[in-house]
Structures are given as C-alpha cells and as structure tokens.
Amino acid sequence: MGKHDESDYSEADLVVKGQEDHAAGPTAVAVSMKRSIDHMGLKRTAQTLLKLNQAEGFDCMSCAWPDPDPGHRHTAEFCENGAKAVAEEATRDRATPEFFAQHSIAELDAHTEHWLGQQGRITHPMVKRPGGTHYEPIEWDEAFDLIGAELRSLASPDEATFYTSGRASNESAFAYQLFVRAFGTNNLPDCSNMCHESTSIALQESIGIGKASVTLDDVHTASVIVIAGQNPGTNHPRMLSALEIAKANGAKIISINPLREAGLVRFKNPQKPKGVVGHGTAMADLHLPVKVNGDLALFQAIGSLLVEWDALDHEFIATHSTGFEQWRDHVRAVDWDQVVEVTGLSRELITQAAEMLRGSTRTVYCWAMGLTQHRNGVATIKEVVNLALAQGNIGREGAGLLPVRGHSNVQGDRTMGIWERPPATFLDALQKEFGFDPPREHGLDVVDSLRGMRDGKVHFFMGLGGNFVQAVSDTDIAIPAMRKVRMTVQVSTKINRSHLVCGETALILPTKGRTEKDIQASGAQWISVEDSTCSVHASRGPLEPASPQLKSEVDIVTRIAEATLGDRYGLQWKAMRDDYRTIRHHIAKVVPGCEDYEVNVRKPGGMIMPHPPRDTRTFDTKTGKAEFVASPIEVVHVPEGHVLLQTLRSHDQYNTTIYGLSDRYRGIEGGRKVVFVHPDDIAAFGLADGDLVDITTRWTGDDVVRCVRGFRVVSYDTPRGSAAAYYPETNPLVPLDSTAIGSNTPTSKSVVVSLARSTSSAPASGDSAGGSSQAATGSDWDHKKTPEPEHLS
C-alpha cells in the first residue's frame, strides 16, 4: 500500500470467515514478521524486535503484561500485537510539512483512523492558526511561547485540562503532574478514567491499594485462574504464555465472557515446536458464557455456594477482614431464579465453577474492561474481592487479584501522580520536596473535562499522547466540545483524529517514541515504566529518531512549564530535561516505595513496588482491614426487541490505533463495521446473517436517540440478549452521562440497543471516516431513568 493511497474499505471488501479455535501459532509469526518488514524493513525489524522487552532493551508500547525474570526471557520476547505496535512507531513513512500542505484538515478528517495512522511519523511541530484550513510548520520556541501565553491568559488554572495517555513514561508523567500542579490545578484526566478506574476505586476502598496483588510467579503457581471480562488472545497475548506455564503446573482456568474467544480455547505457542506443528495447549477448563452485565450476580451466586459449603478461610476472615457477616447473610439470600435470568447460566454450570474454587487454595482472579465499564462496575470488582477474601486469597503465594492493564504504563502514570483526585499524602510530599502548596481541590476526570469543554468552562486542552476524541464516549458531544476550545495541544508520534477535531488554535508537538534514542545535554537517557504487577523497570530505545526535529516527552513538558511558569517556585525544569536522573531523584523523595529509585530501577528486571496486602496482609482502608462489601444485584432493564451491546477491540487494534482490518480469531477480514449477535436474536429482529443494519439507542438521561449506521450483522456464539461491536465506531452510542457509580467510567459495556435494517446510506456516527455527524431523532424505547452518577470530587 502506498503511503498516500486511499485504504478505506467498502462493504464489499468485508469478509466473514469461520471463527478460529486457537490463538497465536505460525499465523501470528507470519503476520508479525510481514507487518514489521513492510513498515520497517529487515534491518530495523532486527534492531527493534530483538530489543523488545529485554532487560537492556525497550519496553513494549502495547499492553502492560509483566516480563519474565531476565534469565527466563526468550530471544523473541514479544507477541503479534507488540510487533505491530513497534512497526507502527518505527515505520519508515513520514508525515512531513509538505504532506500537511497538500491535505487540508477537512480532507484529512474525511479519512478513516486506519488511513490516518498509515501516513507515517510526524516530523515537525505543526500549528493550525485561528481560521486556518491547514496545519503549517512552526518553530519549537514559538510553539512553546504560544502555549505559555494562552495558559497565562486564562482567568483560572481550572479552565485548562491536561490529559495523559498510558504510554507516557514515569519521568514525563512526574514532570507533567508537577507542572500542572505548579500551574494551579488538579485537572489531570487520564486514559484510566475510561477503563480501569472502577478497579482503582473498588480496590482502594476494599484492600487499601488500587493495584494488582500478584506477581507473575503467582500466575505460574496458581491452582485456579479466573479470567473474567478479558480477552488475552487479542488484548494481552503474552499472557497466554504465562497461562501455558500455569497449565503445565496443574492450574485449572475458568473463563467468564459473553463471547467464546479463541485465546481462551486453545493456545499455539510459536516459541515451542508443539505450537507450530502440534495442537497447542487447551486453555479454559470451564467456560461460562455469561450475559453482558451478569457478572455481579454470577459472583454472588458463587459466594453463596462457598458460604453454604463452608469453603472459607475463617482465620483470614477473623484476623484481616471486616464486614464478613453482612456479606455472608447477603449472599445466603441470593435469588437463584434472578441469577439464572441475569447471567443466562444454569445453576449446574455455576456450581461447577464454585466447586473448582472450593477445591483451590491458590486462586488468581484476572479481569479487564468486561467488568469495569458498567453502571455497577465498582460493585462488581468489589464482589471479586469478596470471593478472594472469603478464601484468604490475598497475601498468599499463587493467589490474588490481577486487574490486567491494557496500556503499557497506565499503572506507572498513576503511581507518579497522574490523577485528578490525588491523596493528601502525595500532595504533602510534593509540598515538602518543592516548597509550594499544590492545589487540594479535586480536578476534572475525562468525562467531566468533556462536560467542561461542552459547557464553555474549559478553554485549553493538552494531550500527552493518546487520541482523546476517538477514545471518549458520546462522539456527537465530543466533536463539537473539542472544537469550542480556544487551544488544543497534542503531543504525538503520528496523525490521529484528535489533530483534526481541534481548537481554534491547535498545535501538534511531535515526540520521540519508545523505540528511539533519547540524547540530552548530559548524554543518553533512559526512562522507566510500571507493569500490571507493580514491577518497575528501565527502557532504552535503539533507533535514531524519525526526525532531528523530534523532542522527548520530558523535553516538551519541561519547556512548556518554563514558557508558562518562568521561574515560579524555583523549579529546575532545565536540570530535569538535561538529565533524567534529576527527575528520578525527586521521584525517590515524593513517591512511596521509590526510595533508591535510580539504583533499583536500573537492576536487570527492575524493582517491585511495595504492596501491603500482598507483602504483609496489611490494609490501608478506613477500618485498617480488608473490607467485605454487600451490593445489591442491579439489573439493566432491556426492553423487548432490544439487546445489550458491549464495545470491544478487534485483533488488529490497540486502543484507538487501527493496525489493519483483520480480526481473524473472530473470522472478520477487510472491515470493522460489524455487530456480533446470537442467531436467535437475529431472527427475532427479522434479520438475516449478513444484513446491513442501523444500531440505535435511546438513554432517557438526556432523551437523545443515538444511531450508527451500516453495520454488518454477524451470527456469533454469544448469549441471547447480548451483542458486541468494535469501538471507536460505536462510541457515539455511549451517552456521556451514563457512567459507573463511584468511578465515573463510561458504561461502554452496557448499551441497550435495537437493530433495524439499514434504510439510508447517509453518513452517521460510527461511519468509517471521521468528522461531525448527526444523531438520530425521535423515540425508540423508554429506558428507566437512572440517577445521576456519583462524583467523588
């Protein structure tokens, strides 16, 4: 494909094949190597992939799955999607000033996200001036001066919001939050607000820390592993290798997912001969095809059986927990008829799962977005914690809680202070180290930032990585909201939608990536990141930067800070960018557990952050103990003639980055506008497999009917009443104000929709290209109005 060739697909290109019954294997190797060589060439492929996830190499910019100990890493310590991520960043294609001169913003906005991503690395800082139709090059100093002047002109620091993608390093994240708080606001939304925020809140309140309580070795030595609302084969492929080791050690795996995903059926490890020529490893011993949003009821039913059988760790409960009696009485009274209805599972199947847990003394619970992005997401995670506490599976070898993070350093960014609701202890440490009192009022998260832009209260937006417009819910609100902002600043490697849906003045600041060398005044630099299991390690890129004009994230952040703050508080921004050891020295003084940070992170394999529940069975909660929480089983009302839709990734996708148009494990090739539906539901809608449909929802929180058009119906192995489709194409269906109680996370896994045969080819939300779109009008069904989400700020 030529760099400037149109690669948008038509419906005629979309092919539905049979679903694969295994993940990885020779096909994954072939896809990885072809993609890498096509984008990077043979030499750059060798330079990067052989350094990927190695102790002296660079950390993958894809998922946050932990690395094995340095002595146990393969020469090729990466998965198919990791190779795709490297190929995207280390591509030889370039988006130069000449490219931007040839293509207006409106013209670029008419292309798909996939096409935009194929145009190559941005080589120069670019600006769209007020009234401009094109981006044009700008000198770095002028760009920084424009940003500083705009920020200083605001009536209040709270009129600005500073977003962070999970790919930012610990060093840049720490400098970023320091700048923002010295500027005077806690408006630090990040990608976690849209995904694992329900996890962070639930774990913080239940066990005192919002992080995983396991190490990679615990996964290897578990006797039972529960994988709920997560698809490792697509989203965390290297996890399959860890599960293969666990299976070899005798572990049993319970899969809980509305879809029968290939990665949890059979894994063909391309690193081993049997993965190439054999049948691979059978993964899930028991699959529970739960209905969308049925997980809370399922976990309570399992808890009821464990209580009935007295399969409990009474010593742990008595010594380390509180609230057990209330939870015990609550689950004893579970209504099994309701459970069967809500979950779509038989009592016999649920009992099989409970029996596996009853016989296990080492259970690891894994989960991802399938549990968090619901109205009751926080309650559902707390129910997982209840099961772990009931059997003492915290602070025990081979057991614990494992929220699997999908962004490479989203955990590290939060550790470094990227949070709109920072604890007072963190702010106190900042004050002690830097001599100024940071703001104490809680700031804006992602949803509230978007509300602020929509309502004309936020006038400045900065994104440290990411693609905010495509990531957030309610596209038809997000697009005009972003265009109301006076200035948008995006720190990016490649073109994305957020560059085209932009403010009156818009800046693109091109940054170095993980694959690239970072040379500053003191010499070569390295950065650090934290994975899903609290392991922090160093990362060093091997390649020359894509352009001599590129600056590192740390360089960009500290220069914006200088242009905005001058010498306010005497903060040494130049020293920080000249030598990242200066930042790590500050991290050691501010962030708990990071004493001797410079030394410990440089060790082969890095360091493990302290985790009191895991390490000493101590819990920093209000009661000083782990807390059982009894939650009512709340049911999403789905009217007759509707199904409950979850949004998800394809296999050829990383968050909002579209690598290609293949989802081979689900049998989709050449397109993305598909909706997976049970065959009986297809018939009930009066449709046939392969029909084109419009997907419509009406949420009475605002009485707006939302619609995306022209989606291919695909018959799929999923429970009746449940459906699935890819994001960001279906983000327009998720109402901005429909969020999880307690975490304000968009309910992207609980969208009540109807399907109707497409009657118009007019553009609509979710179509393949970008740009503004019109929501549908009129009324389709009446959904019981839910209360306004709780806001902890």
pLDDT confidence of residue 453:
98
Q: Between 259 and 13, where is the model more confident?
A: 259
For 724-765, the DSSP string reads EEETTTTGGGS-TT-B-TTT--B-TT-EEEEEEE----S--B
Statement: residue 237 has pLDDT above 90:
no
CA dist 502 → 7, 190, 462, 485 (Å): 24, 18, 11, 8
- For residue 569, the tally of other CB atoms under 10 A from its CB is 12
Say what the pLDDT of residue 84 is.
Answer: 87
- pLDDT at residue 1 in the model: 34
Question: Does 570 or 766 have the greater pLDDT score?
Answer: 570
Q: Mean pLDDT across the chain, nearest whole number?
A: 90
Q: Is residue 730 over pLDDT 50? A: yes
**Range of weakest confidence among 312-326, 356-370, 690-704, 712-726:** 690-704
What is the pLDDT averaged over residues 418-446? 98
Alpha-carbon 694 to chain mean position:
27
Is 760 a residue whose pLDDT tops 90? no
How distant, in Å, are the alpha carbons of 123, 327, 445 from that of 197?
34, 24, 10
Supply the pLDDT for residue 65: 87
pLDDT of residue 25: 62
Q: What is the 3-state secondary structure (H, E, C) of 13-80?
A: HCEECCCCCCEECHHHHHHHHHHHHHHHHHHHHHHHHCCECCCCCECCCCCCCCCCCHHHCCCCCCCH
Say how far residue 311 (Cα) sits from the centre of its chain.
35
Does the pLDDT value for residue 272 go beyond 60? no
Asked whether residue 526 carries a pLDDT value surpassing 90, the answer given is: yes
Provide the pairing of β-strand 626-627 with 643-648: unpaired
Q: How far is CA 410 from the centre of its chain?
A: 8
pLDDT of 776: 34
Contact 476, 497 (CB under 8 A): no
Residue 530 sits at φ, ψ, to 5 deg, of -125, 135
Spatial separation of the C-alpha atoms in residues 25 and 505, rounded to whole Å = 48
Confidence (pLDDT) at 761: 52
Residue with tokens 């350093």: 409
Average of pLDDT values for 538-557? 97
Residue 271 scores a pLDDT above 90: no
Across the range 575-580, mean pLDDT stands at 98
Amino acid symbol at 519: I
Tell which residue, 716, 632, 727, 635, has the closest CA to residue 677: 716
Note the Cα 4 to chain centre separation in Å: 30
Average pLDDT over residues 568-583: 98
pLDDT digits (tens, 9 = 90+) for 483-510: 999 999 999 999 999 999 999 999 999 9
Q: Are strands 704-715 and 692-699 parallel, antiparallel or unpaired?
A: antiparallel
CA distances from 91 to 43, 54, 281, 662 (A): 12, 21, 34, 20
Give pLDDT tens digits for 299-311: 999 999 999 999 9
Amino acid 73: pLDDT: 82
Poorest-confidence range of 531-535, 681-685, 784-788? 784-788
User: At which residue do the structure tokens 């057990």 appear?
Assistant: 324
Could you tell me the pLDDT band of residue 268, with boundaries at 50, 70 and 90? low
CA dihedral 515, 517, 518, 522 (to 10 degrees): 150
Find the range with the poorest average confidence among 59-68, 319-328, 439-448, 705-714: 59-68
pLDDT for 45: 81
Distance of CA 45 to the CA centre of its chain: 26
Closest listed residue to residue 767, CA positions, set 3, 8, 4:
8
Mean pLDDT of 193-207: 97
Which residues fall within 8 angstroms of residue 506, CB to CB, at 6 or more apart? Answer: 127, 128, 135, 487, 488, 489, 490, 499
User: According to the model, what pLDDT value does residue 15 have?
Assistant: 87
The pLDDT of residue 779 is above 70 = no
Q: pLDDT tens-digit profile of 365-412? A: 999 999 999 999 999 999 999 999 999 999 999 999 999 988 889 999
- The residues near 337 (Cβ < 8 Å, ≥ 6 apart) are none
Give me 490's structure tokens: 């995006």
pLDDT at 762: 43
SS3 assignment for 499-534: HHCCCCEEEEEEECCCCECCEECCEECCEEEECCCC
pLDDT at 278 over 70: no
For 301, list phi and psi in degrees, rounded to 5: -65, -40
- Is residue 783 scored above 80 in pLDDT? no
Using 50, 70 and 90 to split pLDDT, how confident is the model at 282?
confident
- Find how far residue 759's CA is from the centre of its chain: 35
Report the SS3 class of residue 417. Answer: coil
CA distance 765 to 774: 7
345: tokens are: 């599972």
CA distance 588 to 597: 6
**Ramachandran angles phi, psi of 639, nearest 5°:** -65, 160
Q: Are residues 256 and 302 in contact, defined by beta-carbon separation less than 8 angstroms?
A: no
Q: Is the pLDDT of residue 462 over 60?
A: yes
Using CB atoms within 10 Å of the CB of residue 137, give its burial: 0 to 12 exposed, 13 to 18 middle, 19+ buried: middle
> 282-319 burial, b for 16+ CB within 10 Å, e for fewer?
ebbbbbbbbbbbbbbbbbbbbbbbbbeeebbbeebbee
pLDDT at 782: 28
Report DSSP state, residue 784.
P
Assign residue 461 a region: left if phi > 0, alpha if psi is -120 to 50, beta otherwise? beta
pLDDT at residue 283, as a whole number? 84
Instruction: Please report the pLDDT score of residue 28 as a whole number.
Output: 63
Distances (CA, A) of 218 to 225, 269, 285, 383, 395: 10, 21, 19, 21, 10
Q: What is the pLDDT of residue 61?
A: 86
Residue 252 has pLDDT above 80, yes or no: yes
Across 37-41, 121-125, 449-453, least confident range: 37-41
pLDDT of 793 = 23
Mean pLDDT on 90-95: 95
Tell me how far apart the terminal alpha carbons of the chain are, to the nearest angstrom: 49
Question: Do the beta carbons of residue 380 and residue 747 sit within 8 Å?
Answer: no
pLDDT tens track for 133-185: 999 999 999 999 999 999 999 999 999 999 999 889 999 999 999 999 999 99
Reported as type and span, the H/E element at residue 295 is helix 295-308
Type of residue found at 437: D
Please determine, for residue 95, whether its predicted confidence score (pLDDT) is greater than 50.
yes
Angle between helices 170-183 and 553-565 (to 10 degrees): 10
pLDDT band at 280 (very low <50, low <70, confident <90, very high): low
Q: What is the mean pLDDT of residues 564-591?
A: 98
- The confidence band for 82, taking pLDDT boundaries of 50, 70 and 90, is confident
Q: What is the pLDDT of residue 26?
A: 61
Higher-confidence residue: 29 or 240? 240
